[in-house]
Structure 1
Amino acid sequence: MPTSAPEVLTEEHDLASFDCGKPALNAWLKTRALGNQRNGFTVVVVVHDKGRVVGYYGLSPTAIEPAVLPRKIRTGQPPNPIPCLLLGQLAMDLAYAGRGVGTALLGHALERAVLGARLTGGRALLVRAIDEDAIGFWSRRGFVSSPADPYLLFRSLPDIAASLRAAGRL
């Protein structure tokens, strides 16, 4: 089944049957995503199949205390707090698993993070893993856990940009 290109979430998108297997991520999409977006807290990007959302992510600015960042990302004399971007959610409907949609959506999120940092600044992209499986997922993609919290992972935006350039995506 073909899906849409990534686009910003609107009221017209059907969220009712979305199920990624993680109740907290399902609930956030269905109850908070539009409100958070309307209030300027995050931008929610979705892919859909004829209006039915099958994947999404949320991207927003944030700032982190230097001590929370892994040493390899916290270099030089950074400001306090350090500007970063938060990839707050990333989820795919279980019915669409294994079709490459999630990989494409993650690639889109990484590209937008790099482009956003070029406009506003930002040292790293951070994610908050929902469980141990998510820690493994992000670690396999080059993210490093915070010394303060293993569920808080970071990857430097210059590193992400270099990877995207090497793949011909930037």
Structure 2
Amino acid sequence: MLITKLTRNHDKTTFDCGVLPLNRFIKQQASQLLKRHETVIYGAIDNNRLTGFYTLSACHIIQRDDSERLKRQSPHSPILCVLLGRLAVDKACKGQGLGADLLLHAMQTAKRLSEMMRRKR
């Protein structure tokens, strides 16, 4: 099984995590968000079939969101971050640790992005 950026060539038609809004998202809405570059979707692919996925989007927080924790941060400067928006695993793969693998991949991807951004400063 490979975790990679999702493309239109991956088979999403049989994906079923048991949660209708997540099934509808990956089958009907995901391609539009990818075209508009609003999110990045990584999928666990097994023989070109989607068995799990997660989404990452750019986001930011500001000091007033949590003034105690962020008191050293300027109240006028947003703090850039990555939002893990959705994560789902096909019912046929539940209980095999795929959700944990996807979450770990998401955290590693966010870490790589952070390191790349720091190098560009």
Q: TM-score scaled to structure 2, two decimals?
A: 0.85
Structure with more relative contact order (C-alpha pairs < 8 Å, separation 6 or more): 2
Structure 2: runs of 5+ lacking an equivalent:
none
Q: 2:49 aligns with which of 52, 74, 83?
A: 52
Secondary structure of 2:8's partner? coil
Question: 1:65 deviation in Å?
Answer: 3.1
Residue type matched to 2:92 in 1? Answer: A
Q: 2:78 aligns with which of 57, 64, 81?
A: 81
8 Å CA contact retained: 1:9, 1:34: no
Aligned length: 117
Question: 1:120 deviation in Å?
Answer: 3.0
Question: 1:75 deviation in Å?
Answer: 4.4
The 10-residue stretch of structure 1 (109-118 or 30-39) with the greater mean CA deviation from structure 2:
30-39
Secondary structure of 1:99's partner? coil
Partner of 1:29: 26
Residues 75-154 of structure 1 correspond to what in structure 2 (within 5 A)? 75-78=71-74, 79-120=76-117
Residue type matched to 2:25 in 1? Answer: W
Q: How far apart are the structure 1 equivalents of 2:63 and 2:20?
A: 32
Root-mean-square deviation (CA, aligned residues, Å) is 1.8
Question: 1:62 deviation in Å?
Answer: 1.1
8 Å CA contact retained: 2:62, 2:77: yes
- % of aligned pairs identical? 34
Residue type matched to 1:49 in 2? Answer: D
Residue type matched to 2:21 in 1? Answer: A
Residue type matched to 2:30 in 1? Answer: A
1:31–1:66 distance in 2 versus 1, CA, 3 Å: farther
Structure 1: runs of 5+ lacking an equivalent:
122-170
Instruction: Specify the structure having the higher radius of gyration (Cα).
Output: 2
Cα deviation 1:75-119 (Å, max 9, x = unaligned): 412453321111111111111011111111110000001111222
Partner of 1:7: 4
1:98–1:75 distance in 2 versus 1, CA, 3 Å: farther
Secondary structure of 1:114's partner? helix
